Chain A
Amino acid sequence: MQKAFFLLFVLFTTHCFSQKTDFKHINFAKADRIASTIKSKRLFNLNKLTLDLTKNLDTDIEKVRAIYKWICINIASDFKLYSKNERKRKKYKKDSIKLAEWNSELKRDLFSKLLKRKKTICTGYAYLFKAMCDVVDIESKMVYGFGRTVDVTEFDPNYPNHTWNAFKINNKWYLCDATWAAGISYPDENRFIFKYNDGYFLTEPELFIKNHFPIQKEFSLLGDKMPTFQEFIEMPLLYGGAYTYLNKYIAPKKMYHSLQKGETFNFNYVFKKEIDPKNLKLVFVSGVSEKTYNPFISQKNDTTILRYTFNKAGYFDVHLYYKEDIIATYIFEIKKDNQN
């Protein structure tokens, strides 16, 4: 009986702890240092590279961290290949044979580029992460699904566009996305810049789901709290900044809002400790005009509440910024008093 209670207790507590706090006793500085000192011009000897990265680390989470960090700071995003792939996939959407042929051709091209030039697209990042975890016998998975970015706010449910990873430590699954953590792509300029964002490692599933909708539902790690696809496509658009600055995203849950002129609206977030809410601002864009407003900010426990009263009718893209970094975008349609 006592044993049963103990087991229940263990199950309950392990379930309660969130992703990052599970490892708060572990400092990633050592794993990060190893990741930044080990260089490999090519990836041909993946076993050796992985063993070099992990051999002096004691815990599985540090090993995963070293692998993940190494990938993020060494593998570049290949925008050319990405856009070519998008084009071809759209072209062959209805021709499964041609699509399979293209996929095979792409794979050869993709893996050869990854091995020789350390450049890839997101499935390549996820694939490499899994392959390296395999070397050190840590269970991991490639998770296919829908990544919500500025370019893809409209989804075809039959057409997933992104891949990330889940890995298992002490019988519990955790999430990470090396592609988006590695840096920022400038599609118009065909450029990629390494800029590591730590927010995509051990991310809280409630935040991760905002722009990662897995095809296999269990890998949302949300259990029965997993939103529907419809709820997902109506969510606000979050950027890398959300992962940098937020611990938790609370509200609003939708991107589009229709309000009456004079109505007051609340935005609720839990920011990371080091964030000073004074630096938060709302940028309103309507057509070519752009205005910055400072919302009324209050604090309730760990939640920061931004309050704004819409006194002008119109159709606005409202962006939340922290200093110069964009966090989220909403759309507000503000109607005059008598308008429906």
Chain B
Amino acid sequence: MKTSTTVKMTTSTKILITLFFISFLCTSTINAQKVEVKGVVKGKTEEKAEPLNGVNIYLKDKSVYTSSNRKGEFTFPKTLNVGDVIYFSYLGYLKQKVTITKNTTNLTIVLKEDDNEMLGAVGTNKRFSSKRKGQ
């Protein structure tokens, strides 16, 4: 029967595999400068900087994300590694990214207002009517 074809491991392979996994553990402990990131996000307009409610804060692949509260405060839901990049985005403001270092535990982010003009022609069904003298 085909199911009986289990792989017989020699002792040396076993040792190799174990070593492989151990090496993995080692490297991750070396890199594991876990940083807990929290802070406050503000938005800067022409006059003043105010806390922003509901800023999207996320890792590039968007696998982990959170948003700021009414006071602009947030705590990133996962401890991050040194070198990770988190993004801050909010409608009407320019996106900002921050690279995590050992010291990025308490962030104050000030987003800049996006420079765009606000226009708006609405869609109506109002029928055109010529404006002529005598009408």
Give me the interface of A with B, judged by CB distance under 8 Å. 42-48, 51, 77, 79, 81-82, 85-86, 100-101, 103-104, 106-108, 110-111, 114-115, 121-124, 127-128, 131, 134-135, 142, 144, 147, 149-153, 160-163, 179-188, 192, 237, 239-241, 285, 287, 315, 317, 319, 326, 329, 331
- Min Cβ gap B58→A in Å is 6
Complex CA distance for A182 and B126, rounded to whole angstroms? 16
Shortest Cβ distance from A56 into chain B, in angstroms? 15
Residue contact A51 to B62, C-beta cutoff 8 Å: yes
Interface status of B92 (Cβ within 8 A of chain A): yes
Q: How far is the CA of A240 from the CA of B89 in the complex (A)?
A: 34
Contact partner of A48 (CB less than 8 A), chosen from B65, B92, B127, is B65
Whether B130 pairs with A331 at a CB distance below 8 angstroms is yes
Which residues from A are CB-within-8-Å of B39? none
Are B128 and A150 in contact, CB atoms less than 8 angstroms apart?
A: yes
Q: Are B62 and A121 touching (Cβ within 8 A)? A: no
Decide: B54 and A115 in contact? CB cutoff 8 A.
yes
Q: Are A44 and B89 in contact (CB under 8 A)?
A: no
Give the Cβ gap from B26 to chain A, nearest Cβ, in Å: 35
Contact of A151 with B124 in the complex, beta carbons under 8 Å: yes
| Separation of A181 and B121 alpha carbons in the complex (Å) | 12
> Min CB distance, A152 to chain B, in Å?
6
Interfacial chain A residues near B117, Cβ < 8 Å? 103, 123, 144, 160
By the criterion CB–CB under 8 Å, are B123 and A77 in contact?
Answer: yes
Confirm or deny: B125 has a beta carbon within 8 angstroms of a beta carbon on chain A: yes
Total residues of chain B contacting the partner, CB 8 A:
33
Given contacts A46-B56, A162-B119, A183-B123, contact A131 B135 (CB under 8 A): no
The reply to whether A122 and B119 form a contact with Cβ atoms under 8 Å apart is: yes
A315 near B130: Cβ-Cβ < 8 Å:
yes
B91 touches A184 (CB 8 A): no
B contact residues around A104 at 8 Å (CB): 45-47, 113
The CA-CA distance from A51 to B67 in the complex, in Å, is 15
Among B54, B62, B67, B128, residue most surrounded by chain A Cβ atoms (within 10 Å): B128
List which B72-101 residues lie within 8 A (CB) of chain A.
89, 91-92, 95
- Tell me whether B10 is interfacial, beta carbon within 8 Å: no
Chain A proximity mask over B114-134: 1 for CB below 8 Å, otherwise 0: 101111111111111110100
5 tightest A-B CB contacts, nearest first: A44-B54, A121-B120, A111-B92, A180-B123, A147-B121
Smallest CB separation, A136 vs chain B (Å)? 9
